[in-house]
Amino acid sequence: MARAGDPPAGCPDSGGGRLHDARPRARSAAAGWGGVAIGAIAILAMTACGGAQQTVPPEGREGPADAGDHGRDPNMADADPNIAFEAEENRIPVTLYFVTEDGDLAPEVRRLTRVDPASEMARRIVEELAGGPREGLHPTVPPETTVRALHIGADGTAYLDLDQGFARGLAHGSEDALIAVRSLAETLTTNLPEILRVKILVEGDEVRDLGGHLDLSHPVVPEAATARGGEGSPDGAPR
């Protein structure tokens, strides 16, 4: 039989501490499980971050190189040791004729890459000549000269078509014009056996008064080319 003052059935006894003890234990359990959950999340986050650092290289850097690439220069990875040798083998000596202080032609030898056909090689030689000397001589062809076309005929005549820059650069002196013409003819016939004489055109037309007086209506043949069978005026002077 229930006594007066006893708590209702099913309720914890407040005097025995059952009601007050249950709540702290519940809070402790909840806090404990919460700490475990937070710790697990932190571990997972650290693991994920660590994995990302291992698999993703820093920005601007490449990943680990293959073992076979260790110690190799990346710039030389595809280099063929024969390329430089072959390139040098394709370079040939070329004699360019410039002018001395005394007004005489003098040779300057360079090495240029050999190309085919001969007309293309002749074009490159003329362009090199127009670029001027390197060894203390003086230029013969105006630097603003541009080669418009160059054709070598079956009879050994090279038809050299230059632009107006050539004529303008020699407009005020027949002596300079003669030196330029001789320089072109001597340079081309010396380096290319296919060329025996040089016919110089300007913008596709014959020139009869280069420098004011020089007639270029006939091909120019230097002495060396004349000895090889060329026909024209000796010493590079037009007829």
Q: Does some domain include residue 179?
A: yes
Q: What's the rounded Cα separation, in Å, for the pair 112 and 130?
A: 15
pLDDT recorded at residue 174:
86
Structure tokens at 211: 């420098």
Q: What's the rounded Cα separation, in Å, for the pair 75 and 66?
A: 16
Q: Does some domain include residue 104?
A: yes
Pairing of β 157-162 and β 197-202: parallel
Q: Does some domain include residue 30?
A: no
Query: Which residue range forms the structural domain that includes residue 150?
Result: 84-236
Pairing of β 147-152 and β 105-113: unpaired
**Global confidence as pTM:** 0.61
Q: Does some domain include residue 3?
A: no
Whether the predicted pLDDT of 20 surpasses 60: no
Ranges assigned E (strand) in 63-116 = 91-99, 105-113
Strand arrangement, sheet containing 147-152: 147-152, 157-162, 197-202
pLDDT tens digits, residue range 21-45?
444 444 444 444 455 444 544 444 4
Q: Of 166 and 35, which is predicted with more confidence?
A: 166
pLDDT tens digits, residue range 131-154?
999 989 999 999 999 999 999 999
Q: How do the residues of the chain divide into helix, strand and coil, expressed in percent and rounded to 5?
A: 40, 20, 40
Amino acid in position 216: L
Q: Does some domain include residue 28?
A: no
Q: What are the φ and ψ backbone dihedral angles of 83, each rounded to 5 degrees?
A: -65, -50
Q: Does some domain include residue 44?
A: no
Confidence of residue 59 (pLDDT cuts 50, 70, 90): low
Q: Does some domain include residue 159?
A: yes
Q: Does some domain include residue 77?
A: no
The sign one gets for the Cα dihedral 181, 183, 188, 189 is: positive
| Number of domains observed in the structure of the chain | 1
Distances in Å between the Cα of 85 and the Cα atoms of 73, 74, 82, 93 are 20, 21, 5, 16
